[in-house]
Structure 1
């Protein structure tokens, strides 16, 4: 299913859903590298994350999504923030138009190897100094910047 993201764009369609999602910002202690995946649906690099399932907490969702999308096992160690600006709209090809609502958890890697899958065609550790050379959506850049600046927990 295709998707188009709108970021502070007056031409964005009006949302018709709000679904909680959780991301995980995983950083290696040794060099500060951040785990990113390249999304197959947009081609952009992003933090691993996705929709919460009924019966799981935000941290459980973030841990699950990280493993599913990157192959990396991580534990939740903190809260980066809650991100839901009404100006971040995601339109899906099936007609769903979602206002983004993301709880982003900070994680520490404990195992696994970067692995591509049906959602990500690239998974890698990226040093903070190299982030500018990656195509990263502004919503993800904002979350990463908050982490690197120590500006958390953040709440929109």
Structure 2
């Protein structure tokens, strides 16, 4: 299923759903951040996705990280709640979501970066290298909040 992201775009369609999702910003011992390149948008992002019934938001973040990157991680902190009504994601099936993400900070405990059906690239990226990557502004905000210590973000 394809998707189009709108970020502070007056031409964005009106949202028709609000789905809880979780992201995991995983940092290794070298200070590099785990990023995946999404197959549906081609942009680099933190691993994350929609929460399933029967799991907590933190469990969702850990599961999504493993599914999307091959890296097993554990939650070590809370980054924030990101619920920007000006960030809209339109899917080809007609669903139009307003962003709602609980973001956590994690540390790797196993696995290795692996591409899959959702990500065609998975890399550890040092903060000094981030400008070489096409990272969506919403992900840049989350990474920036982590790097500047501006968390928890409660928006």
Post-superposition CA distance 1:23-81 (Å, at most 9, x none) = 0000012x210000000000000000000000101110000000000000000011000
Post-superposition Cα deviations, 1:110-150, rounded to whole Å, max 9, x if no partner, equal 11110000000000100000000000000000000000001
Number of positions where the alignment pairs a residue of Structure 1 with one of Structure 2: 155
1:14 aligned residue: 14
Once the two structures are superposed, the pairs formed by residues 124-139 of structure 1 within 5 Å of their partners are 124-139=123-138
2:109 — aligned with what? 110
Distance of 1:85 and 1:126 partners within structure 2: 26
**Paired residue secondary structure (2:17):** coil
Q: Distance in 2 between matches of 1:60 and 1:51?
A: 11
Secondary structure (helix, strand or coil) at the match of 1:145 reads: helix
Q: Which residue of structure 2 lines up, in the alignment, with residue 42 of structure 1?
A: 41
**Once the 2 structures are TM-superposed, how far is the Cα of residue 82 of structure 1 from its aligned partner?**
0.3
Runs of 4+ displaced beyond 2 Å: none
Deviations 1:91-123 (A, max 9, x none): 001110000100001000011110000000000
